[in-house]
Amino acid sequence: MKVLVVGGGGREHALVWKLLQSPLAEKVVCVPGNAATQEVAPGPAISPDDLDGLLQYALQEKFDLTVVGPEVPLTAGMVDRFEQAGLPCFGPQQEAAQIEGSKAFAKQLMIDAQIPTASHATFTDPDQAEAHIKKIGAPIVVKADGLAAGKGVLLCRTEEEALKALHAVARAKAFGDAGNKVVIEDFLTGEEASFLALTDGKTVLPMATSQDHKAVFDGDTGPNTGGMGAYSPAPVVTDELFSRIMDRVMAPAVRAMAERGTPYKGILYAGLMIDPDGGINVLEFNCRFGDPETQPLMMRLKSDLLPALIACREGTLDQVELEWDPRPTVCVVMASGGYPGSYDKGIPIQGLAENVEDAVVFHAGTALREGETVTNGGRVLGVTGIGSDIPAAIRAAYSRVKTIHFNGVHFRGDIGRKALKYIDGV
Protein backbone atom coordinates (compact mmCIF):
# COMPACT_ATOMS: atom_id res chain seq x y z
CA MET A 1 0.00 0.00 0.00
CA LYS A 2 0.99 3.60 -0.62
CA VAL A 3 0.11 5.73 2.41
CA LEU A 4 -0.02 9.52 2.58
CA VAL A 5 0.26 11.22 5.99
CA VAL A 6 -0.88 14.85 6.04
CA GLY A 7 0.76 17.20 8.54
CA GLY A 8 4.17 18.26 9.72
CA GLY A 9 4.24 17.94 13.50
CA GLY A 10 5.41 15.46 16.10
CA ARG A 11 2.14 13.53 15.83
CA GLU A 12 2.70 13.01 12.11
CA HIS A 13 6.33 11.95 12.57
CA ALA A 14 5.18 9.39 15.16
CA LEU A 15 2.52 8.07 12.77
CA VAL A 16 5.05 7.85 9.94
CA TRP A 17 7.53 6.10 12.26
CA LYS A 18 4.88 3.51 13.16
CA LEU A 19 3.46 3.05 9.65
CA LEU A 20 6.92 2.43 8.21
CA GLN A 21 7.08 -0.64 10.47
CA SER A 22 4.02 -2.16 8.77
CA PRO A 23 4.67 -4.95 6.25
CA LEU A 24 1.60 -3.67 4.38
CA ALA A 25 3.15 -0.26 3.74
CA GLU A 26 5.17 -0.33 0.55
CA LYS A 27 5.63 3.44 0.64
CA VAL A 28 4.84 6.17 3.17
CA VAL A 29 4.88 9.86 2.22
CA CYS A 30 4.40 12.80 4.60
CA VAL A 31 3.36 16.28 3.44
CA PRO A 32 4.48 18.89 4.19
CA GLY A 33 6.45 16.99 6.82
CA ASN A 34 9.50 18.20 8.73
CA ALA A 35 13.25 17.59 8.74
CA ALA A 36 12.89 13.99 9.96
CA THR A 37 10.02 12.89 7.73
CA GLN A 38 11.77 14.41 4.70
CA GLU A 39 14.53 11.88 5.31
CA VAL A 40 12.32 8.77 5.65
CA ALA A 41 9.01 9.71 3.93
CA PRO A 42 9.77 12.66 1.66
CA GLY A 43 6.94 14.57 0.03
CA PRO A 44 6.19 17.99 -1.46
CA ALA A 45 5.64 21.07 0.70
CA ILE A 46 1.85 21.18 0.41
CA SER A 47 0.10 22.92 3.32
CA PRO A 48 -2.43 20.80 5.26
CA ASP A 49 -4.92 23.62 4.59
CA ASP A 50 -4.49 23.36 0.80
CA LEU A 51 -7.20 20.77 0.14
CA ASP A 52 -7.11 21.32 -3.63
CA GLY A 53 -3.36 20.81 -3.76
CA LEU A 54 -3.49 17.74 -1.53
CA LEU A 55 -6.28 16.17 -3.57
CA GLN A 56 -4.48 16.79 -6.86
CA TYR A 57 -1.28 15.27 -5.47
CA ALA A 58 -3.06 12.24 -3.99
CA LEU A 59 -4.89 11.56 -7.27
CA GLN A 60 -1.65 11.90 -9.22
CA GLU A 61 0.24 9.50 -6.94
CA LYS A 62 -2.72 7.10 -6.46
CA PHE A 63 -2.40 6.67 -2.69
CA ASP A 64 -4.25 3.70 -1.22
CA LEU A 65 -4.87 5.49 2.08
CA THR A 66 -4.50 9.05 3.34
CA VAL A 67 -4.16 9.66 7.09
CA VAL A 68 -5.04 13.19 8.15
CA GLY A 69 -3.13 14.43 11.20
CA PRO A 70 -4.32 17.99 12.04
CA GLU A 71 -7.83 19.11 12.90
CA VAL A 72 -8.04 22.03 10.45
CA PRO A 73 -8.25 19.97 7.22
CA LEU A 74 -10.65 17.53 8.91
CA THR A 75 -13.07 20.31 9.92
CA ALA A 76 -12.67 21.82 6.43
CA GLY A 77 -13.99 18.59 4.86
CA MET A 78 -10.83 16.92 3.58
CA VAL A 79 -12.16 13.40 4.13
CA ASP A 80 -15.36 14.24 2.24
CA ARG A 81 -13.37 15.67 -0.69
CA PHE A 82 -11.04 12.67 -0.92
CA GLU A 83 -13.79 10.07 -0.65
CA GLN A 84 -15.89 11.83 -3.29
CA ALA A 85 -12.84 11.51 -5.56
CA GLY A 86 -12.56 7.79 -4.79
CA LEU A 87 -9.55 8.11 -2.47
CA PRO A 88 -9.73 6.25 0.88
CA CYS A 89 -9.08 8.68 3.72
CA PHE A 90 -8.78 8.07 7.48
CA GLY A 91 -10.63 10.52 9.71
CA PRO A 92 -14.14 11.83 10.35
CA GLN A 93 -16.13 13.61 7.67
CA GLN A 94 -16.71 17.34 8.03
CA GLU A 95 -20.02 17.19 9.88
CA ALA A 96 -18.68 14.65 12.36
CA ALA A 97 -15.48 16.68 12.85
CA GLN A 98 -17.63 19.43 14.37
CA ILE A 99 -17.13 17.53 17.61
CA GLU A 100 -13.82 19.44 17.77
CA GLY A 101 -14.56 22.27 15.37
CA SER A 102 -17.30 23.69 17.60
CA LYS A 103 -17.22 23.44 21.38
CA ALA A 104 -20.90 24.44 21.46
CA PHE A 105 -21.72 21.51 19.16
CA ALA A 106 -19.74 19.14 21.39
CA LYS A 107 -21.44 20.39 24.57
CA GLN A 108 -24.90 19.90 23.05
CA LEU A 109 -23.92 16.40 21.92
CA MET A 110 -22.83 15.58 25.46
CA ILE A 111 -26.07 16.88 26.92
CA ASP A 112 -28.14 14.90 24.41
CA ALA A 113 -26.12 11.71 25.05
CA GLN A 114 -26.01 12.26 28.84
CA ILE A 115 -22.22 12.31 28.82
CA PRO A 116 -20.87 13.92 32.03
CA THR A 117 -19.46 17.41 31.46
CA ALA A 118 -19.33 20.81 33.14
CA SER A 119 -22.36 23.09 33.08
CA HIS A 120 -22.02 25.77 30.43
CA ALA A 121 -23.58 28.63 28.51
CA THR A 122 -22.89 29.73 24.92
CA PHE A 123 -22.88 33.33 23.69
CA THR A 124 -22.49 35.21 20.42
CA ASP A 125 -23.04 38.60 22.12
CA PRO A 126 -20.00 39.65 24.24
CA ASP A 127 -22.20 41.93 26.37
CA GLN A 128 -24.41 38.99 27.35
CA ALA A 129 -21.36 36.87 28.05
CA GLU A 130 -19.95 39.62 30.27
CA ALA A 131 -23.20 39.86 32.22
CA HIS A 132 -23.18 36.08 32.69
CA ILE A 133 -19.64 36.15 34.08
CA LYS A 134 -20.55 38.92 36.53
CA LYS A 135 -23.60 36.96 37.60
CA ILE A 136 -21.94 33.60 38.34
CA GLY A 137 -18.47 34.79 39.34
CA ALA A 138 -15.19 32.86 39.34
CA PRO A 139 -13.33 30.56 39.04
CA ILE A 140 -14.64 29.96 35.54
CA VAL A 141 -13.50 28.79 32.12
CA VAL A 142 -13.75 30.91 28.96
CA LYS A 143 -13.45 29.04 25.65
CA ALA A 144 -13.31 30.13 22.04
CA ASP A 145 -15.91 28.00 20.28
CA GLY A 146 -13.79 27.25 17.21
CA LEU A 147 -10.31 25.89 16.56
CA ALA A 148 -7.48 27.73 18.30
CA ALA A 149 -4.50 25.35 18.05
CA GLY A 150 -5.14 24.05 21.56
CA LYS A 151 -4.81 27.53 23.09
CA GLY A 152 -8.42 28.72 23.11
CA VAL A 153 -9.27 27.50 26.62
CA LEU A 154 -8.64 30.12 29.31
CA LEU A 155 -8.79 29.10 32.98
CA CYS A 156 -9.79 32.13 35.04
CA ARG A 157 -9.35 32.19 38.81
CA THR A 158 -10.92 35.63 39.30
CA GLU A 159 -13.75 37.59 37.72
CA GLU A 160 -11.23 40.15 36.46
CA GLU A 161 -9.27 37.39 34.67
CA ALA A 162 -12.50 36.07 33.15
CA LEU A 163 -13.52 39.48 31.81
CA LYS A 164 -10.04 39.99 30.34
CA ALA A 165 -10.22 36.53 28.73
CA LEU A 166 -13.64 37.29 27.29
CA HIS A 167 -12.34 40.57 25.85
CA ALA A 168 -9.37 38.78 24.26
CA VAL A 169 -11.51 36.04 22.73
CA ALA A 170 -14.71 37.84 21.73
CA ARG A 171 -13.69 41.45 21.16
CA ALA A 172 -9.95 41.54 20.39
CA LYS A 173 -10.29 38.30 18.36
CA ALA A 174 -7.09 36.80 19.76
CA PHE A 175 -8.11 33.53 18.09
CA GLY A 176 -9.74 35.07 15.02
CA ASP A 177 -13.15 33.80 13.98
CA ALA A 178 -12.89 31.00 16.54
CA GLY A 179 -14.07 33.61 19.04
CA ASN A 180 -17.25 34.57 17.18
CA LYS A 181 -19.01 32.29 19.65
CA VAL A 182 -17.86 31.88 23.26
CA VAL A 183 -18.52 28.99 25.63
CA ILE A 184 -18.39 29.77 29.35
CA GLU A 185 -18.40 26.81 31.70
CA ASP A 186 -17.88 25.78 35.28
CA PHE A 187 -14.32 25.38 36.53
CA LEU A 188 -13.56 21.73 37.23
CA THR A 189 -10.82 20.47 39.52
CA GLY A 190 -8.98 17.15 39.56
CA GLU A 191 -6.46 15.43 37.33
CA GLU A 192 -6.66 15.44 33.56
CA ALA A 193 -6.27 12.41 31.32
CA SER A 194 -6.43 11.78 27.58
CA PHE A 195 -8.52 8.90 26.28
CA LEU A 196 -8.20 8.01 22.59
CA ALA A 197 -10.17 5.35 20.75
CA LEU A 198 -10.47 4.15 17.16
CA THR A 199 -13.97 3.75 15.81
CA ASP A 200 -15.65 2.68 12.57
CA GLY A 201 -18.91 4.32 13.60
CA LYS A 202 -20.10 1.23 15.52
CA THR A 203 -17.23 -0.51 17.29
CA VAL A 204 -15.08 1.53 19.69
CA LEU A 205 -11.54 0.20 20.15
CA PRO A 206 -9.71 2.00 22.97
CA MET A 207 -6.05 2.87 22.89
CA ALA A 208 -3.82 3.00 25.97
CA THR A 209 -4.39 5.88 28.37
CA SER A 210 -2.16 8.95 28.44
CA GLN A 211 -1.84 12.33 30.08
CA ASP A 212 -0.99 15.64 28.41
CA HIS A 213 0.67 18.68 29.99
CA LYS A 214 -0.92 21.78 28.49
CA ALA A 215 0.62 24.63 30.49
CA VAL A 216 3.97 26.01 29.35
CA PHE A 217 5.74 25.95 32.73
CA ASP A 218 6.39 23.40 35.48
CA GLY A 219 3.59 22.83 37.96
CA ASP A 220 0.96 23.48 35.27
CA THR A 221 1.55 27.22 35.40
CA GLY A 222 1.57 29.80 32.62
CA PRO A 223 -0.55 29.95 29.46
CA ASN A 224 -1.87 26.90 27.67
CA THR A 225 0.07 25.48 24.74
CA GLY A 226 -0.52 22.77 22.17
CA GLY A 227 1.04 20.42 24.75
CA MET A 228 4.45 20.39 26.47
CA GLY A 229 4.69 16.65 27.03
CA ALA A 230 2.75 13.47 27.69
CA TYR A 231 3.14 10.02 29.15
CA SER A 232 1.41 6.66 28.85
CA PRO A 233 -0.21 4.94 30.64
CA ALA A 234 -1.94 7.44 32.95
CA PRO A 235 -2.31 5.64 36.31
CA VAL A 236 -5.08 8.04 37.37
CA VAL A 237 -7.27 5.98 35.01
CA THR A 238 -7.81 2.75 36.92
CA ASP A 239 -9.25 -0.36 35.30
CA GLU A 240 -12.64 0.50 36.77
CA LEU A 241 -12.45 4.07 35.45
CA PHE A 242 -11.33 2.78 32.04
CA SER A 243 -14.50 0.69 31.76
CA ARG A 244 -16.66 3.57 32.96
CA ILE A 245 -15.13 5.96 30.41
CA MET A 246 -15.90 3.48 27.64
CA ASP A 247 -19.49 2.98 28.86
CA ARG A 248 -20.37 6.56 29.76
CA VAL A 249 -18.28 8.64 27.34
CA MET A 250 -16.86 6.93 24.26
CA ALA A 251 -19.64 4.51 23.32
CA PRO A 252 -22.45 7.07 23.92
CA ALA A 253 -20.63 9.71 21.85
CA VAL A 254 -20.19 7.38 18.86
CA ARG A 255 -23.78 6.16 19.20
CA ALA A 256 -25.11 9.73 19.39
CA MET A 257 -23.19 10.74 16.27
CA ALA A 258 -24.64 7.79 14.36
CA GLU A 259 -28.16 8.68 15.53
CA ARG A 260 -27.66 12.21 14.19
CA GLY A 261 -26.94 10.78 10.77
CA THR A 262 -23.28 11.77 10.94
CA PRO A 263 -21.48 8.50 11.77
CA TYR A 264 -18.07 9.10 13.31
CA LYS A 265 -15.15 7.18 11.79
CA GLY A 266 -11.55 7.73 12.79
CA ILE A 267 -9.93 8.53 16.09
CA LEU A 268 -12.01 10.06 18.86
CA TYR A 269 -10.09 11.80 21.64
CA ALA A 270 -11.75 12.73 24.93
CA GLY A 271 -9.99 15.15 27.24
CA LEU A 272 -11.13 14.20 30.72
CA MET A 273 -11.10 15.68 34.20
CA ILE A 274 -11.06 13.06 36.95
CA ASP A 275 -11.97 14.35 40.38
CA PRO A 276 -10.48 13.00 43.63
CA ASP A 277 -13.53 10.76 44.17
CA GLY A 278 -13.17 9.14 40.74
CA GLY A 279 -15.89 11.17 39.05
CA ILE A 280 -15.32 11.87 35.34
CA ASN A 281 -16.21 14.87 33.21
CA VAL A 282 -15.39 15.51 29.57
CA LEU A 283 -13.51 18.76 29.05
CA GLU A 284 -13.49 18.50 25.26
CA PHE A 285 -13.54 16.12 22.32
CA ASN A 286 -10.93 16.15 19.56
CA CYS A 287 -11.40 14.61 16.13
CA ARG A 288 -7.79 13.47 15.60
CA PHE A 289 -4.78 11.88 17.23
CA GLY A 290 -3.42 13.94 20.11
CA ASP A 291 -0.14 15.79 19.94
CA PRO A 292 1.99 14.99 21.95
CA GLU A 293 0.04 11.92 23.16
CA THR A 294 0.59 10.11 19.85
CA GLN A 295 4.34 9.99 20.41
CA PRO A 296 4.27 7.90 23.64
CA LEU A 297 1.31 5.87 22.35
CA MET A 298 3.01 4.84 19.10
CA MET A 299 6.11 3.78 21.04
CA ARG A 300 3.96 1.49 23.19
CA LEU A 301 1.79 0.07 20.39
CA LYS A 302 3.09 -3.40 19.48
CA SER A 303 0.38 -4.12 16.89
CA ASP A 304 0.50 -3.01 13.28
CA LEU A 305 -1.32 0.33 13.11
CA LEU A 306 -2.23 0.18 9.43
CA PRO A 307 -4.82 -2.66 9.56
CA ALA A 308 -6.61 -0.82 12.38
CA LEU A 309 -6.82 2.38 10.31
CA ILE A 310 -8.14 0.43 7.32
CA ALA A 311 -10.72 -1.34 9.52
CA CYS A 312 -12.07 2.03 10.70
CA ARG A 313 -12.87 2.91 7.11
CA GLU A 314 -14.24 -0.49 6.13
CA GLY A 315 -16.42 -1.05 9.20
CA THR A 316 -14.52 -4.12 10.37
CA LEU A 317 -12.97 -2.79 13.57
CA ASP A 318 -14.67 -5.55 15.57
CA GLN A 319 -12.10 -7.91 14.04
CA VAL A 320 -9.09 -5.90 15.31
CA GLU A 321 -7.23 -6.17 18.60
CA LEU A 322 -4.42 -3.94 19.80
CA GLU A 323 -1.45 -5.18 21.81
CA TRP A 324 0.46 -2.76 24.02
CA ASP A 325 3.97 -2.84 25.43
CA PRO A 326 3.50 -2.80 29.23
CA ARG A 327 6.47 -0.46 29.63
CA PRO A 328 5.58 3.23 30.17
CA THR A 329 6.69 5.99 27.82
CA VAL A 330 7.32 9.68 28.49
CA CYS A 331 7.48 12.44 25.87
CA VAL A 332 9.17 15.77 26.69
CA VAL A 333 8.53 18.62 24.24
CA MET A 334 11.49 20.86 23.50
CA ALA A 335 10.06 24.22 22.44
CA SER A 336 11.32 27.47 21.01
CA GLY A 337 11.97 30.27 23.48
CA GLY A 338 8.91 32.51 23.69
CA TYR A 339 6.41 29.78 22.79
CA PRO A 340 3.36 29.89 22.94
CA GLY A 341 3.96 33.54 22.10
CA SER A 342 6.31 34.81 19.40
CA TYR A 343 9.56 32.98 18.73
CA ASP A 344 12.43 32.88 16.25
CA LYS A 345 12.86 30.25 13.53
CA GLY A 346 15.86 28.94 11.67
CA ILE A 347 17.99 28.22 14.75
CA PRO A 348 20.42 25.29 14.28
CA ILE A 349 19.80 22.21 16.45
CA GLN A 350 22.74 20.24 17.84
CA GLY A 351 22.84 16.68 19.17
CA LEU A 352 20.29 14.95 16.93
CA ALA A 353 22.62 12.41 15.34
CA GLU A 354 23.08 10.20 18.39
CA ASN A 355 21.02 6.98 18.46
CA VAL A 356 19.81 5.92 21.91
CA GLU A 357 18.17 2.55 22.52
CA ASP A 358 15.53 3.70 25.00
CA ALA A 359 14.57 7.05 23.43
CA VAL A 360 13.23 8.32 20.09
CA VAL A 361 13.39 11.96 19.00
CA PHE A 362 10.21 12.83 17.14
CA HIS A 363 10.49 16.01 15.10
CA ALA A 364 7.75 18.64 15.09
CA GLY A 365 8.75 22.20 14.18
CA THR A 366 11.95 21.42 12.26
CA ALA A 367 13.20 22.01 8.73
CA LEU A 368 16.26 21.27 6.64
CA ARG A 369 18.36 24.26 5.58
CA GLU A 370 21.48 23.57 3.51
CA GLY A 371 21.74 20.11 5.02
CA GLU A 372 21.34 21.37 8.59
CA THR A 373 18.33 20.78 10.85
CA VAL A 374 16.90 24.04 12.18
CA THR A 375 13.90 25.12 14.25
CA ASN A 376 10.73 25.88 12.27
CA GLY A 377 7.95 26.10 14.85
CA GLY A 378 6.94 26.58 18.46
CA ARG A 379 7.13 22.95 19.50
CA VAL A 380 10.35 21.72 17.94
CA LEU A 381 10.97 18.16 19.19
CA GLY A 382 9.18 15.49 21.23
CA VAL A 383 11.85 13.42 22.97
CA THR A 384 10.20 10.16 24.02
CA GLY A 385 11.73 7.67 26.42
CA ILE A 386 10.66 4.15 27.38
CA GLY A 387 11.51 2.29 30.57
CA SER A 388 10.57 -0.57 32.87
CA ASP A 389 8.54 1.86 34.99
CA ILE A 390 7.58 5.55 34.97
CA PRO A 391 10.77 6.72 36.76
CA ALA A 392 12.91 4.80 34.24
CA ALA A 393 10.96 6.28 31.30
CA ILE A 394 11.37 9.77 32.76
CA ARG A 395 15.13 9.23 33.11
CA ALA A 396 15.36 7.92 29.55
CA ALA A 397 13.53 10.94 28.11
CA TYR A 398 15.42 13.60 30.07
CA SER A 399 18.79 11.91 29.52
CA ARG A 400 18.22 12.28 25.78
CA VAL A 401 16.93 15.85 26.19
CA LYS A 402 20.23 16.83 27.82
CA THR A 403 22.14 15.80 24.68
CA ILE A 404 20.16 18.16 22.40
CA HIS A 405 20.52 21.93 22.27
CA PHE A 406 19.40 24.99 20.33
CA ASN A 407 19.49 28.63 21.40
CA GLY A 408 16.47 29.61 23.49
CA VAL A 409 15.28 26.03 24.03
CA HIS A 410 12.58 25.63 26.65
CA PHE A 411 11.12 22.46 28.15
CA ARG A 412 9.27 21.50 31.29
CA GLY A 413 11.20 19.57 33.89
CA ASP A 414 8.26 17.78 35.46
CA ILE A 415 6.71 15.67 32.69
CA GLY A 416 5.47 12.41 34.22
CA ARG A 417 5.83 13.59 37.80
CA LYS A 418 2.09 13.31 38.51
CA ALA A 419 2.28 9.56 37.87
CA LEU A 420 4.86 9.05 40.61
CA LYS A 421 2.33 9.42 43.44
CA TYR A 422 0.68 6.20 42.28
CA ILE A 423 3.90 4.21 42.74
CA ASP A 424 4.63 2.69 46.13
CA GLY A 425 7.82 3.93 47.72
CA VAL A 426 8.29 6.92 45.41
What's the predicted TM-score (pTM) here?
0.94
Q: What is the mean pLDDT of residues 167-195?
A: 92
310 band by pLDDT with thresholds 50, 70 and 90? very high
Rounded Cα distance between 323 and 207, Å, is 9
pLDDT value at residue 149: 77
**pLDDT for residue 150 is more than 90:** no
Domains of the chain: 2-93 (3.40.50.20), 119-186 (3.30.1490.20), 191-319 (3.30.470.20), 329-421 (3.90.600.10)
pLDDT value at residue 349: 98
Q: What mean pLDDT is reported for the chain?
A: 95
Share of the chain above pLDDT 70, in %: 99
pLDDT value at residue 426: 55
Q: What is the mean pLDDT of residues 11-33?
A: 98
Q: Between 149 and 67, whose confidence is greater?
A: 67
CB 415, CB 328: distance < 8 Å: no
Q: What is the mean pLDDT of residues 236-240?
A: 96
CA distances from 3 to 24, 26, 39, 63, 315 (A): 10, 8, 16, 6, 19
Q: What is the mean pLDDT of residues 271-275?
A: 96
pLDDT value at residue 148: 84
